[in-house]
């Protein structure tokens, strides 16, 4: 593993990521940990509609911390959860969930392990 520091002024948000309606700013953790962990700031692309249905992620760890705005999810076995600034969610591996909506000013910190993982659409019809 390597030392890593990421300054906001030196890194930009990119449209490349899991969801087309979000922009992502990589925090350099993927490279520093040889792909074991990824950390990024996610922000909403204003005016972009939420798309995509219920799904799950094949990974070992996923944590989301809401920095700004709000986002609402529906989690299997839990129900609806609203994240607002200061909300921290640990999504257990494989939990099925759906994003229901978010504010245009949304910003999240997400940490996942491993850095590269599969997203599997839910085939249950729920």
Higher pLDDT, 66 or 4: 66
For residues 107 and 86, give the distance between their C-alpha atoms in angstroms, rounded to a whole number: 11
Give the model confidence (pLDDT) of 36-94 as tens digits.
999 999 998 877 667 668 889 999 999 999 999 999 999 999 999 999 999 999 999 99
pLDDT band for 24, please (50, 70, 90 cuts): confident
Average pLDDT over residues 17-36: 83
Q: What φ, ψ does residue 29 adopt, rounded to 5°?
A: -75, -35
Query: Is 78 a domain residue?
Result: yes
For residues 71 and 108, give the distance between their C-alpha atoms in angstroms, rounded to a whole number: 9
For residues 126 and 54, give the distance between their C-alpha atoms in angstroms, rounded to a whole number: 7
Query: Is 3 a domain residue?
Result: no
Query: Is 52 a domain residue?
Result: yes
Query: Is 4 a domain residue?
Result: no
CATH no. for residue 73?
Answer: 2.60.120.10
Query: Is 109 a domain residue?
Result: yes
Domain enclosing residue 76, as ranges: 13-121
pLDDT value for 124: 61
Query: Is 17 a domain residue?
Result: yes
pLDDT value for 34: 94
pLDDT value for 95: 95
Report the domain count for the chain: 1
Per-residue three-class SS string for the chain: CCCCCCCHHHCCCECCCCCCCEEEEECCHHHHCCCCCEEEEEEECCCCCCCCCCEEEECCEEEEEEEECCEEEEECCCEEEEECCCCEEECCCCCCEEEEEECCCCEEEEEEECCCCEEEECCCCC
């Amino acid at each position: 593993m390597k030392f890593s520091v990421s300054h906001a002024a030196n890194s930009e948000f990119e449209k490349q990521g899991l969801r087309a309606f979000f922009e992502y700013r990589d925090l350099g953790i993927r490279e520093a940990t040889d792909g074991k962990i990824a950390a990024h700031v996610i922000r909403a692309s204003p005016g972009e509609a939420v798309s995509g249905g219920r799904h799950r992620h094949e990974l070992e760890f996923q944590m989301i911390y809401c920095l700004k705005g709000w986002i609402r999810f529906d989690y299997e076995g839990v129900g609806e959860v609203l994240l607002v600034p200061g909300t921290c969610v640990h999504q257990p591996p494989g939990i099925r969930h759906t994003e229901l909506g978010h504010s245009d000013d949304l910003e999240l910190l997400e940490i996942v392990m491993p850095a590269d993982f599969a997203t599997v659409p839910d085939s249950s019809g729920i």
